[in-house]
Copies of this chain bind each other. A is one copy, B any other.
Amino acid sequence: MAEGVDAGEVLGGSVGFLLSKLGMTSATQFAETLEPLGIDPRHFGILRIVEMASGQSQQQLGEALHIPPSRMVALIDDVEQRGLVERRRNPKDRRAHALHLTPKGRKLYDQALAIATEYEEHLCEGLSERERDQLLTLLHKLAAACGPAGSHPGMA
């Protein structure tokens, strides 16, 4: 039998350990809820930033997300082949690709947002409204101290 060993619950009193564990678990679960849409959290991140900053070039977005150019190619290829994002030639600078959501992309982004909201509810369902606000506040405090804002390191 394998239960001579009880893994884990020693560092349960550590914020860092819990944060890292919960962060990974919730990210995995979120990815699973996104699966029916055929995308993963990184695609979601791309759709989100293209929506926020329509018409920007690949490398501009890549810089904002700390993704190297060569990786952006594959990522954008991916969402483009699904008909979610469109590469348009910029007439002012024909080297650059201006990125835009297609109608299909916008629709799917909205669906993904809805799923994200739903997952957020699920994640927090053990918490009262007040506890949830507290948690958010505390996490923001931590985030402020924990390195210079920036985007989600999971993209990079």
Contacts and interface: CB of A to CB of B under 8 A. Distances in A.
Given A6-B64, A7-B49, A145-B126, A119 B19 contact: no
Contacts of A74: none
A116 interface: yes
Q: How many copies make up the complex?
A: 2
Given A5-B49, A24-B20, A60-B4, A12 B152 contact: no
Interface in A85-142: 116, 119-120, 123-127, 131-132, 134-136, 138-142
Nearest to A152: B21
Given A49-B7, A152-B8, A152-B17, A22 B146 contact: yes
A1 to B, nearest CB: 9
B154 A142 contact: no
B149 A2 contact: no
Interface residues of A, dominant DSSP: helix
B53 A5 contact: yes
Contact of A124 (B15, B139, B149): B15
A27 interface: yes
17 contacts: A2-B64, A5-B64, A6-B52, A10-B48, A14-B120, A15-B124, A19-B26, A20-B154, A21-B143, A22-B146, A25-B146, A28-B153, A29-B147, A125-B145, A127-B142, A134-B134, A135-B139
